[in-house]
Amino acid sequence: MTNHVRVRFAPSPTGMLHIGGLRTALFNYLFAKHHKGSFVLRIEDTDQARYVPDAEADITTSLKWAGLHVDEGPDKGGKFGPYRQSERSELYSKYAAKLVEDGHAYYAFDTAEEIDNMRQRLQSPDNPTPKYDSVTRMEMKNSLTLPADEVKKRLESGEPHIIRLKVPENETIRFDDLIRGDVSFESRGLDDQVLLKSDGLPTYHLANVVDDHLMEISHVIRGEEWLSSAPKHILLYRYLGWKPPVMAHLPLIMSPKGGKLSKRNAEELGIPINVRDYIAGAYEPAAVINFLAYLGWSTGDDREILTPDEMIATFSLDRVSKSGAIFDLKKLEWYNEHYLRAMPVPQLAGRVREVAEREGYTGLTDAYLETVVRLMIERSVRMPDIVEQGRFLFDAPKTIDEGAVKKAWKENTGELVTEFRDKIAGLSEAEFTAAQVKAVLSGVVEAKGIGFGKLMLPVRLAVTGAGSGPDLFQTMALLGRDEVIGRINRSLDQLATK
């Protein structure tokens, strides 16, 4: 046994990795890196009924996208492998048999119907969900109640059976959780947990404990939803004669509307739930990671933006809170804007090109796209917004905002815009700079003795189709003289009847 910190992220491939899972992975990763330890990925795929074939690939892709590189795992290998539980199945039955031999577990032969009957018979207002436990086990069909030779016969004849943990009758099971402090559970409230199923595969509890031990996991860091499993695990460690790892249960992720963040309420609030939705939505992985780090943890000072190295240096489990962490989408967007704006313009322009080309906007120069980025960056939350919100920089507007037209387009507006158009038509392409175009517009409004907005807003509508947007003069300079004049002409035609 080493003193080395070894943690694991142990997802079950039962669906796409959700954002809460990524937070668990991140906290494990930060803890491992802070202590110069190892971050292990283990795939807990013993539940055949819930197995989703694409899930493991989704987990791997998501971790890579987030920059959480594993030190050991199914793709990476390592000396504690294999790292998929389905490839370790003989191990578990061996330990289950040992538990039976030592009197800490037993074979049970009850059919589902027999268990249902027991539950129905014992159900009462005081005991709404009767358990298969220290009391009821004695009236069921198992190796504690049946004669030894009958048990042997049944096993030899291949009769379907499971192995259950023999939970003690009256005991307070305690352990120290790094986040929650002293935690205790009464054994009376626990079911005789199934350890090995009739298909010979282990349940999560047995496989998890066996693997955490064999893989020399020093700290188990996982979501609070697993806290109630911990007493069963503590019993298993004791019965197998092993020292349990240190436990740390992370606070739940809560919906801003209250309650645990579920798939359904996330959807209602527009919160992407699966990591693949963040990838598809072109969120910046650095922003997502920075945001997730603060979902239940804090630095203790007023820093909010941390590089991965700073996170690693600062991370500690004592600053993880016990109470639920509220998922604030606005905060995530704030992080995303921050990281988007911090990106070098040429790099961002390269990414914008991909989105633009996918939408059919081809043949644009790097310089053009870099100006698009500079114009749109302050108005964009995510990278694709640059194209979506800045469509008028790629294509003439198909429509003109009706509401803005009502406000800005008065009787004489057409004439004013026409005059402006005629003046800019007199500029050469080289003279068609933001400053010159602005000077032309100023000249017209001064000559007429009207406010700047009286002409600027209609020109903006005519050129971009919208009542607001980035700097209009830079926009026009980017589009170029002929394009601007063409758009003004079309808009004048379209608005002539207004």
Among 27, 204, 283, 297, binds ligand GLU (CB under 6 A): 204
Q: Give the one residue of 38, 46, 193, 208 binding ligand GLU; rule: CB under 6 A.
A: 208
Task: Tell me the window of 8-16, 148-156, 188-196, 323-331 that interacts with ligand GLU (CB under 6 A).
Answer: 8-16
In the bound complex, what is the minimum distance in angstroms from residue 167's beta carbon to ligand GLU?
Answer: 19
What does the per-residue mask of binding to ligand GLU show for 31-70, with x meaning CB under 6 A? Answer: -------------x--------------------------
| Only segment of 7-15, 68-76, 384-392, 422-430 that touches ligand GLU (CB under 6 A) | 7-15
Q: Cβ distance 200 to 220 under 8 Å?
A: no
Q: Check: CB of residue 49 under 8 Å from CB of residue 78.
A: no
Closer to ligand GLU at the Cβ: 221 or 424? 221
User: Applying CB under 6 A, does 10 fall inside the site for ligand GLU?
Assistant: yes
Q: Does 85 bind ligand GLU (CB under 6 A)?
A: no
In the complex, minimum distance from the CB of residue 85 to ligand GLU, in angstroms, rounded to a whole number = 9
Please name the residues in contact with 233: beta carbons below 8 A apart, sequence gap of 6 or more.
205, 208, 209, 244
* Cβ proximity to ligand GLU, 209 vs 372, nearer residue: 209
3-class DSSP state for residue 264?
helix
Number of residues that bind ligand GLU (CB under 6 A): 8
Hey, what are 223's tokens?
Answer: 């979501």
Contact window for ligand GLU (CB under 6 A) among 9-17, 194-202, 323-331, 431-439: 9-17
59 versus 455: smaller Cβ distance to ligand GLU: 59
The amino acid present at 90, given as its one-letter code, is E
Q: Is 401 helix (H, G, I), strand (E, B) or coil?
A: coil
Amino acid occupying residue 115: I
Applying CB under 6 A, among 18, 222, 249, 421 the residue interacting with ligand GLU is: 222
Check residue 272 for interaction with ligand GLU (CB under 6 A). Answer: no
Give the E-state strand segments of 306-441 in sequence order: 325-326
Cβ count within 10 A of residue 400: 19
Of 10-18, 168-176, 249-257, 350-358: span binding ligand GLU (CB under 6 A): 10-18
Stretch that binds ligand GLU, among 5-13, 149-157, 270-278, 446-454 (CB under 6 A): 5-13
CB of residue 483 to ligand GLU, shortest distance in Å: 55
Select from 163, 102, 110 the least CA-distant residue to 141.
110
Q: Judged by CB under 6 A, which stretch of 6-14, 328-336, 373-381, 440-448 contacts ligand GLU?
A: 6-14
Tokens of 182: 């002293």
Please state whether 241 falls in left (phi above 0), alpha (psi between -120 and 50) or beta: left
**Using CB under 6 A, which of the segments 4-12, 281-289, 390-398, 478-486 binds ligand GLU?**
4-12
Q: What one-character-per-residue DSSP string does 265-290 give? A: HHHHTT---BHHHHHHTT--HHHHHH
User: Which pairs from 395-399 meet CB under 8 Å and 24+ separation?
Assistant: 395/361, 396/483, 396/486, 396/487, 396/490, 397/464, 397/465, 397/466, 397/487, 398/465, 399/465
Least separation in angstroms between residue 201's CB and ligand GLU is: 14
Nearest-angstrom CA–CA distance, 187 and 251: 24
User: How many whole angstroms separate alpha carbon 25 and alpha carbon 30?
Assistant: 9
With respect to ligand GLU, which residue has the nearer C-beta, 20 or 384?
20
Site string for ligand GLU, 298-337 (x = CB under 6 A): ----------------------------------------
Q: Is 12 in the site for ligand GLU (CB under 6 A)?
A: yes
**Which residue of the set 64, 263, 322, 407 is catalytic?**
263
DSSP classification of residue 124: B
Complex with ligand GLU: residue 44 or 177, whichever CB lies closer: 44
Which of 51, 65, 80, 226 is the binder for ligand GLU (CB under 6 A)? 226
Judged by beta carbon, residue 58 or residue 284, the one nearer ligand GLU is 58
Within 8 A by CB and 6+ apart from 394, the residues are 356, 359, 361, 364, 372, 387
Cβ closest to ligand GLU, residue 29 vs residue 109:
29
Binding mask 129-148 for ligand GLU (x = CB under 6 A): --------------------
Decide whether 204 or 297 has the Cβ nearer to ligand GLU: 204
Which among 408, 424, 396 is positioned nearest to 483, based on CA atoms? Answer: 396
In angstroms, the CA 61 to CA 287 distance is: 17
Helix (H, G, I), strand (E, B) or coil at 328: coil
Q: Contacting ligand GLU (CB under 6 A), which of 5, 6, 7, 11?
A: 11
Alpha carbon 259 to chain centroid distance?
Answer: 18
Measured from the CB atom, the residue of 320 and 484 that comes closer to ligand GLU is: 320
Whole-angstrom Cα distance, residue 465 to residue 442? 21
Nearer to ligand GLU among residue 44 and residue 110 (C-beta)? 44
To the query of whether residue 232 is one of the catalytic residues in this protein, the response is: no
* Of 319, 333, 323, 179, the residue nearest 258 (C-alpha): 323
3-state secondary structure of 326: strand
What is the residue type of 198? S
Binding site for ligand GLU (CB under 6 A): 10-12, 44, 204, 208, 222, 226
Residues with catalytic function: 263
